[in-house]
Every structure is written in structure tokens, then in C-alpha cells.
Amino acid sequence: MIVVMKNGAGAEQVQAVADTVTEWGLKPHVSQGEERTVIGLIGDEAKVNGPALEMMAGVEKVMPVLKPYKRASAEFHAERTVVRIPPARHGDRGLTIGGPGVVVMAGPCSVETRDMILSLGAFLKGAGAHLLRGGAFKPRTSPYAFQGLGVEGLRYLAEERSVVGLPIITEVMDTRDVEMVAEFADIIQVGARNMQNFNLLKVLGRCNRPVMLKRGLASTLEELLMSAEYVINAGNDEVILCERGIRTFETFTRNTLDLSAVPVLKRESHLPVVVDPSHGTGHWDLVAPMAKAAVAAGADGLLLEVHPDPSHAVSDGPQSLTPKRFKALMGELELVARAVGRNLH
């Protein structure tokens, strides 16, 4: 249930509502927008006396949240969530995801060598990327395929951040690794295959790092939002949603990138939305057109696989851009972003 306060309602009126619902045994979640304040009520709604709340000073209306996702829903928040990433190094600028700027996260599928991470990181920073992506723990379909460098890979990423200055996003697969990955990562990625690993989501809800949730291979957008609800409900509001393609009967592409997910998720939720056209298509030549389309559709960010030598990549070479192609794409993305009233920071 949410309580919408009148335009111009005072802080004491908001406090009075919060105190009243607390007395009833519910938890108020106050969200202050520029124009209105919304108070979300978390807990047993049977305990809410709606008419009494509606009569309180400063209250405009009391509304049920009908969606199964509550705290992830657009109604629950007066404003869109903006995730803030602190500067990688002293003197660098911080980043925001979900604000006016479109954020580009780029890098290899897997962290392969220290050299690769440091030199590719420097190139990507020069080309305008905002975060370095790279998997140290890899969810591979085959147990015989490269599983990632583990903590050694995390150390290379951390070195890149302190030397080159790009903050990092990397995946966690196991609840036992969350604390360790959180020490290294600026954003923790939950891969498509773990989107409904509810124990992992609950543990991530208790860590103090933003979490990017990738849509499951065969998950609906409602299921994605319910997974976000798990993380938020466990205490972490900083959730980013990522569309990365879903399984369909189509075989020309690795997955079918569902770009309508972008406006749907932005209508249904206050959370930032990122698109991954690399896994979404599976082919490097399809990445640029879909990346541009994603920005045109309103995405707050892109996740792009870039490899210095895609034909020798240990994973996902066919969908990886070369550094040169990435740089060219950044120029085109800037134009698309501007055409839709955004920028690439």
C-alpha cells in the first residue's frame, strides 16, 4: 500500500503518517520526490486503517499496490532510482546510472590475463567507456569449458581500477563468494542463469554494493522484477536491471534481444535499465545496430563485450567487438544519445 502526500505537505505531516503506520506494526518507506512524497507501507496490509490514514493532514490518497513486486514498482517510488558509483581513484569523477547520462560498461567476457585487463582497460577508458566488465567466475554451459580465473581475475580488475581508473562490474555465482567479490567490484553482476537463485539474491540484499540483475534465459519481465524485489526486500535498494536476450525458436541469433523490455521495465519500475546486445545477439556485427536501438529505446546503459583478439578469446569471441569497432560505435552512440535527449556523460 502507498500513501501519496499532497503537494507541499510538510515534514511533520509525513512524520505523523510514518509514526502512525509504525504503531500499526508496518514499516514506512518514505520517498521524497521533487513534487510529491510517497510513503510505501511494508508489512501486513490488513493492519492498515485506510480511511483513518486518508483523513490525516497532508494526505492526498491511500492506494493499494496491486503488482506482485512492490518495492521495485514505479508507484512505490516518487522518483527514479539513480545508482551512484564512487570515483575509482582520488580526483576522478564518480558515475551515476539511471540519470541523464547513458553508461557504457565494456570489456572481455572473461578476465584472461593481467596484461589484457590493464591494456584493454586503458584503451576503453580512452574511448569513453565508463566501467570495465570482465568475468572472473564464469557460468559456462560445459563443465569442461574455461571457468574463470577466480580471485586472481578479481585482483587484475582491481589493479586496473587503481591504475587506469575504470570502475568494475563482475559476476558472482556463489553465496560464499559474495563478501569477497563485493570487496573488489563496484557493481556485482548476477548472470542470467542465476536470476532466480533466491538464496544468492537474499545475500546480495545484505551487501553494500549495487547489483545488476540479468534477465533469465526464459524469464518474464515480471519474474525479473520479482528477483529485484528479493534484493531490495533484503535491504539493498541499488538494483540495476539488464535485458540480455531470451530463448526463442530463432536460430540466426544466439538469443532474441527483447528491446521492448526497456520501455516496459521503465514504466513498471523505478530502477535503471541496461541492455546487453552482445549476449542478446551472439554476433559482433549485430551488436552495434542493437546497441544504438537500445539507447534510442531509452536504456540507461549498455553492457558490451570487447576483446583485443576476438578469434582467440577463451569465451564469447564471436560476439565480441574489436577495440577499433568499439571506438567507432562510441561515436555513433553519442549521436543517438543526443537525438533522444541524453548523452554519454
**Residues forming the site for Mn ion (CB under 5 A):** 109, 316
Rounded Cα distance between 212 and 202, Å, is 14
Instruction: Kindly tell me the sign of the dihedral angle through the C-alpha atoms of 116, 118, 123, 124.
Output: positive
Rounded Cα distance between 218 and 206, Å, is 27
Where do the H-state alpha helices sit in 206-240?
A: 221-233
C-alpha cell at 225: 522484477
CA 269 to chain centre: 12
Contact pattern for ligand PEP over residues 309 through 338, marking x by CB under 6 A: ------------------------------
At closest approach, how far in Å is the CB of 141 from Mn ion?
11
Under rule CB under 6 A, residue 277 binds ligand PEP: no
The identity of residue 263, as a single letter, is: P
At closest approach, how far in Å is the CB of 255 from ligand PEP?
8
Under rule CB under 6 A, residue 279 binds ligand PEP: yes
Nearer to ligand PEP, 1 or 224 (CB): 224
Nearer to ligand PEP, 214 or 342 (CB): 214
Q: Which listed option, Mn ion, ligand PEP, none, makes contact with residue 254 (CB within 5 to 8 Å by class)?
A: none
Instruction: Say how many residues touch ligand PEP, by CB under 6 A.
Output: 9
Q: Which listed option, Mn ion, ligand PEP, none, makes contact with residue 40 (CB within 5 to 8 Å by class)?
A: none
Under rule CB under 6 A, residue 254 binds ligand PEP: no
Among 1, 48, 109, 290, binds ligand PEP (CB under 6 A): 109
Rounded Cα distance between 6 and 291, Å, is 41
Q: Is 7 exposed, middle or buried (0-12, 13-18, 19+ CB in 10 A)?
A: exposed
Q: How far apart are the first and last CA of the chain?
A: 37
Number of H helices, E strands in the chain: 11, 14
Nearer to ligand PEP, 31 or 253 (CB): 253
CA angle 275, 278, 282 (to 5 degrees): 135
Under rule CB under 6 A, residue 191 binds ligand PEP: yes
At closest approach, how far in Å is the CB of 338 from ligand PEP?
28
From the list 9-17, 152-160, 188-196, 285-293, the region that binds ligand PEP by CB under 6 A is 188-196
Contact present, 76 and 270 (Cβ < 8 Å): yes
Under rule CB under 6 A, residue 145 binds ligand PEP: no
At closest approach, how far in Å is the CB of 139 from ligand PEP?
5
Under rule CB under 6 A, residue 244 binds ligand PEP: yes
At closest approach, how far in Å is the CB of 103 from ligand PEP?
16
Among 169, 192, 221, 295, binds ligand PEP (CB under 6 A): 192
CA angle 136, 137, 138 (to 5 degrees): 110
The count of other CB atoms within 10 Å of the CB of residue 46 is 6
From the list 56-64, 79-87, 190-198, 202-210, the region that binds ligand PEP by CB under 6 A is 190-198
What is the Rg, in whole angstroms, of the alpha carbon atoms belonging to the chain? 21
Residue number of the CB closest to ligand PEP reads 191
Q: Which listed option, ligand PEP, Mn ion, none, makes contact with residue 214 (CB within 5 to 8 Å by class)?
A: ligand PEP
C-alpha cell at 21: 503506520
At closest approach, how far in Å is the CB of 135 from ligand PEP?
5
Contact pattern for ligand PEP over residues 117 through 136, marking x by CB under 6 A: ------------------x-
Contact present, 140 and 147 (Cβ < 8 Å): yes
Q: Are strands 273-275 and 95-97 parallel, antiparallel or unpaired?
A: unpaired
In the complex, the residues that contact ligand PEP under the rule CB under 6 A are 109, 135, 139, 191-193, 214, 244, 279
